[in-house]
Amino acid sequence: MTWSGRLVRPAYLWLGGWLVALLLDYPLAQALLRKPHADWGVLRRSYVDTAHILGQGWMLLVIGGLIWFAGALMSRVDWQRVARWFAGALLITGFWAQAIKHVVGRPRPSQLAHGAWLPIGPTFQPSFDSFPSGHAMTVFAAVPLLCALWPRGRWFVIVAATLVALGRVAGGSHYLSDLVVGAGMGLAIGRYLTARWRAEVESTDAL
């Protein structure tokens, strides 16, 4: 397959997934918000709270720090080098997530009760920063880096990232399409950083 083919096919799949998610956005959000937060069961509350914590940007620094420490213990210089790319992922995803959120101004699902469901454009109003999901962007930026370090565990990494992202929908903080866009952007950022890390390792090994 050509380079353009490798790029175009995932783009079509991502676009198709986003369109399907758009169709599901409002019916799914209304169904999930039907039950007040106070009436959530222990399982849902625990899942949503855990997903919220694991998807925060500082978790990239924690993961990077643990990998650096493991690399130091095992004398793996390549592992130690990848740690700073996790810090890079935090900076890049944080910038783009916040920039797009406040330019688009999409109301969060909680605003449906107030009749707000269309993006209002550039704004810093609270609860109008739903698109894209910063949590999804963060966790999926880590996926390519973690899969490169741990190929055998790639499905565990992918499933874990997906569950964290879906927790934002279960908690009523995001629409499904927010997740699809956030995950797609995160993967693109993660793949770029993984390529930079591999190039760095290869250039060092060649010396």
- The pLDDT of residue 106: 96
**In a domain? residue 21:** no
Assigned token pair, 63: 């993961």
**In a domain? residue 168:** yes
- Looking up tokens 């370090």, which residue turns up? 149
Q: How many domains does the chain have?
A: 1
**In a domain? residue 3:** no
pLDDT confidence of 163, banded at 50, 70, 90? very high
- With a cut of 50, say whether residue 120 has pLDDT above it: yes
> For the chain, first and last CA: distance in Å?
32
**In a domain? residue 54:** yes
DSSP H helical segments within the chain, as ranges?
3-32, 42-54, 58-73, 77-104, 134-149, 154-170, 176-205
Q: Which domain holds residue 50?
A: 42-205
Residue-wise pLDDT tens digits, 100-117: 999 999 999 989 888 888
- Looking up tokens 């676009």, which residue turns up? 15
- The pLDDT of residue 3: 43
Residues 6+ apart with CB under 8 A from 102: 122, 123, 124, 129
Q: Are 55 and 167 in contact (CB under 8 A)?
A: yes
Exposed e or buried b per residue across 9-48, where buried means at least 16 C-beta atoms within 10 angstroms of its C-beta: eeeeebeebbeebeeebeebbeeeeeeeeeebeeebeebb
- With a cut of 90, say whether residue 15 has pLDDT above it: no
pTM: 0.90
